[in-house]
Structure 1
Amino acid sequence: MRYGLLALFSLAVPATAGELSLVPPIECDLTGPCYIQQYVDHDPTDTASDFTCASLSYDGHKGTDFALPTRDMIDQGINVLASATGTVRGIRDGMEDLGYSKATASQIEGRECGNGVVLVHKDGWETQYCHMRKGSISVAQGQQVNAGDILGQVGMSGRAEFPHVHLSVRHDGKVIDPFDPDDVITCGETETDTLWSDVPPYRAGGIISIGAAAGIPDFSNIRANTVPLPKPTSDALVIYAYLFGTRKSDVIHLALNGPEGSVIKRDILLKKPQAQSFRAIGKKLKTDRWPAGTYTGTAELRRASDVVERQEFTLTIP
């Protein structure tokens, strides 16, 4: 299978809205818990820019990444959907959902798309779906599918560092950004010419999840949603926020309140842009146990004078 991230396609301009009508390729709410992590790169230099002139992309990215918030959701079986009516031209299955790392790079080389499906559509259009879950592909070569039909499930096979389906859209072999098919970008203006039948929401970075822990958690556990909850006698109470698409000078406000009032709160200045990251604050135990009752955690991502996103959680300590 060809892989949209690595194939040498130019970001050309043959498309206008209406030639292909797309639906999102993931059966999950894109306002949360799922989200779009990265878009097609429109910057011809060695930096990156999405269709809004923001940084939700990386150099040379040739598709759109529809992401699950945590790795444990792979086991829930989140469906990958055909974005348009077409014919199955290629499939691959059988690759493990290992995630990309130095240790797995040699196993993945030449198969960066992982498990996936290629659909061909009328008038020279094709769509490709990458990083699908091992054993989940439910279509066959030559099969006709309709927009919204299930192709398989979201996984983390191939060159994937987080669970998502990577959608590539091509016309006559040339990469098209479905959010900006004519490749004419005016920064600060809303893009109205798209290939989407109902345009997915654009989240300019945000909070993937928040939670509590008994100490500063490992990032791998946050990504897998396996952080153990604190106990009444834990050495510390920690609140953490799992973030995406943050920019330099963003501020993450974290606060934890308990039955006796404020436990801890802090504003953290983010010093560089990051695709994914986390921040955490905590307080050490100074008595024999934490007061019993309900604790409320708050995370707020701020950008200049705006609140990008806010989330809360509650924790009960018996």
Structure 2
Amino acid sequence: MEKEIILENLDESIVNEATFYSQQNIPSQISQALYLYGSTTDYQVLGFIDASGDGSKGMIFTDQGIYFCFKEPHFFLYEDIEKLILVKKEETFDFYAKIKTKTSTFVFKNNYLNLKEFIECLSGILEMPISYEMSAYEKVEYFVPLVLDDLKEDVYEDLELTKQQYQQIKDIEHELEMAKELKDLDYQDECRSLCRYCLDFFESLGLDSDEIEALNEAQSFFDQQDSQENQQLEGAKRWVDEMMSNYQNGDTGMYDQMKSTMGNLGIDEEKLKNMSNEEVNQYVQDMCKKFGISQSLFDKLKDKFGR
């Protein structure tokens, strides 16, 4: 690995509860670190993290790889790294890190490192994209604001936004805040809608970034969900068509089975007959929420079977 590329990406931003030393300021405790967990052949130190004050815990960056000891000594070479991963922690957008090599997976959960900055540092050194382990919905909530912030801070130098585009950014930010107040299926529906809208907006601006690629991954998941839902609806439509055909021909078996199922689910057919269209619509929406059917699927049901 080229020394200049490593030095260009390596700085104190990768540490939290530890001290970073650049190549020009390597302290005396590096001797202890090299002895305890360093290499006897790969010793051109380009950066050093001391997590203990005496060199017994920390991380050594060379031009070939990274040697570290926070609990036990380990190392990996840059050329062996296959995947850089940030894993979202539960109920927060803090991350822990995973580095997959040809032979092992190293998991970092300590507070010595700023794990997000550490992985981004390696991504810059290796020119390797970062994989994010979080749900598609979380990707929308996490990455859309990052792209919007870049737009507002003029990160895209050749792009000059119009008043209308600035208003679109404000509208998206408002929708994001509203989405955070929602729960379960309503939250998921809002994220799905926002993802498609935001990607279309970013595409119209000619944007391209790792954050947008993560949103594309989320959209691929949503598209797959839509495809599965459509297949299920087609199957349900065929079943209903067959039931109605049989009923018209005097065979009420499937119809009787459906009425029995409705009764078991607590759906009162007689009650429905006396409702207005608006009341029926609300009643069906309530039943969909009860049985975990999303708003998007409910809308498809209305389109498929009539309102």
Structures share a fold, TM > 0.5? no
Whichever structure has more helix as a proportion of its residues is 2
| TM bin (shorter chain) | under 0.3
Higher RCO (CA < 8 A, seq sep 6+): 1
Whichever structure has more strand as a proportion of its residues is 1
Which structure has the larger Rg over C-alpha atoms? 2
TM-score by length of 2: 0.24
